[in-house]
Amino acid sequence: MESDRWYSDHRVWLELFVFANLSGLIPDIALAHATNGFRHPGEAVPLAFCLVASPACLAALVAWRVRGRERAWRAAGFAIGWFAIATGIAGLIWHLSSRFLAEMTLDSLVYTAPFAAPLAYVGLGLLLIANRMVDHRTRDWPLWVLVIAEGGFVGNFVFSLADHAQNGFFHFTEWIPVAASAFAVAFLAMPLMRPVGRPYLWLCGGVLGVQVVVGLLGFAYHVRANLAGPSQSLLDNFIYGAPAMAPLLLPNLVLLAALALVVLGSAAAA
> Tell me: the pLDDT tens digits for 75-100?
999 999 999 999 999 888 877 776 55
Instruction: Please determine, for residue 200, whether its predicted confidence score (pLDDT) is greater than 60.
Output: yes
Pair (43, 148) in one structural domain = no
> Per residue in 12-28, pLDDT tens?
999 999 999 999 999 88
In the three-class reduction of DSSP (H, G, I as helix; E, B as strand; rest coil), residue 230 is classed as coil
Q: Running DSSP on this structure, what letter comes out for residue 166?
A: T
Same structural domain, 53 and 33: yes
Q: Which of 133, 163, 191 is the last residue of a domain?
A: 133
Residues 122 and 187 in one domain: no
- Judge if 110 and 227 occupy the same domain: no
Domain count, the chain: 2
What average pLDDT does the structure give for the chain? 86
Residue 141 C-alpha from the chain's centroid: 18
pLDDT class for 2, splitting at 50, 70, 90?
very low
Instruction: Tell me the pLDDT band of 3, cut-offs 50, 70 and 90.
Output: very low
Proportion of the chain above pLDDT 70, given as a percent: 90
Pair (182, 94) in one structural domain: no
- What was the pLDDT predicted at 44? 86
| pLDDT at 211 (0 to 100) | 96
Together in a domain, 70 and 145: no
Residues 114 and 156 in one domain: no
Phi, psi angles (nearest 5°) of residue 154 = -65, -45
Examine the pLDDT at 246 and tell me if it is beyond 80: yes
Contacts of 71 (CB under 8 A, 6+ apart): none
Cα–Cα distance for residue pair 107/193, rounded to 1 Å: 35
Compute CA distances 46 → 51, 60, 119, 204, whole Å: 9, 20, 12, 33
Choose the final residue of a domain: 105, 133, 161: 133
Its domain, for residue 143, covers 138-270
Percent of the chain exceeding pLDDT 90 equals 53
**Which pLDDT value is given to residue 112?**
55
Q: Are 142 and 254 in the same domain? A: yes
Regarding whether 76 and 156 lie in a shared domain, the answer is no
Within this chain, do residues 70 and 179 fall inside the same structural domain, yes or no? Answer: no
Return the pLDDT at 226: 85
Same-domain status, 93 and 149? no
17 and 122 assigned to the same domain? yes
| 46 and 32 Cβ atoms separated by less than 8 Å | no
One-letter amino acid for residue 248 of the chain: L
Domain end among 133, 167, 189: 133
